[in-house]
Amino acid sequence: MDYIQPITVLSEEEAMFKDAVADFAREQIAPHVMEMDQKAQFKKEILDQFFELGLMGVEVPEEYGGVGGSFFMSILAIEALAQVDASAAIYVDVQNTLVNNAFLRWGNQEIKKKCLPQLAQEKIGAYALSEPGSGSDAFGLKARAVEKGDHFVLNGTKLWITNAAEADIFIIFANANPELGYKGITAFIVERGFPGFSVGKKEDKLGIRASSTCELILQDCIVPKENVLGETGKGYKVAIETLNEGRIGIGAQMIGVMEGSLQAGMQYARERQQFGQPIAKFQGVQFQIAEAAIQLEASRTLVYNAARLKDAGKDYLKEAAMAKWFSSVNAEKVTSRMIEIFGGNGYTKEFPVEKFYRDAKIGQIYEGTSNMQLATIAKYLLFK
Q: How far apart are CA 60 and CA 71, in angstroms?
A: 10
Pairing state between β 273-274 and 228-229: unpaired
Q: How far apart are the first and last CA of the chain?
A: 32
Please identify every residue annotated as catalytic.
367
Which of 1.20.140.10, 3.40.640.10, 1.10.1200.10, 2.60.40.420 would CATH assign to domain 237-383? 1.20.140.10
**Are the C-beta atoms of residues 247 and 369 closer than 8 Å to each other?**
no
Q: May I ask the CATH class of domain 126-233?
A: mainly beta
What pLDDT score was predicted for residue 4?
A: 53
Q: How far apart are CA 96 and CA 249, in angstroms?
A: 9
What pLDDT score was predicted for residue 2?
A: 47
What's the pTM value of the predicted model, to 2 decimals?
Answer: 0.96
Pairing state between β 228-229 and 185-191: antiparallel
**Are the C-beta atoms of residues 99 and 127 closer than 8 Å to each other?**
yes
> What residues does each domain of the chain span?
12-123, 126-233, 237-383
- CATH code of the domain occupying 12-123: 1.10.540.10
Tens-of-pLDDT digits for all 384 residues of the chain? Answer: 444 567 789 999 999 999 999 999 999 999 999 999 999 999 999 999 999 999 999 999 999 999 999 999 999 999 999 999 999 999 999 999 999 999 999 999 999 999 999 999 999 999 999 999 998 888 899 999 999 999 999 999 999 999 999 999 999 999 999 999 999 999 999 999 999 999 999 999 999 999 999 999 999 999 999 999 999 999 999 999 999 999 999 999 999 999 999 999 999 999 999 999 999 999 999 999 999 999 999 999 999 999 999 999 999 999 999 999 999 999 999 999 999 999 999 999 999 999 999 999 999 999 999 999 999 999 999 998
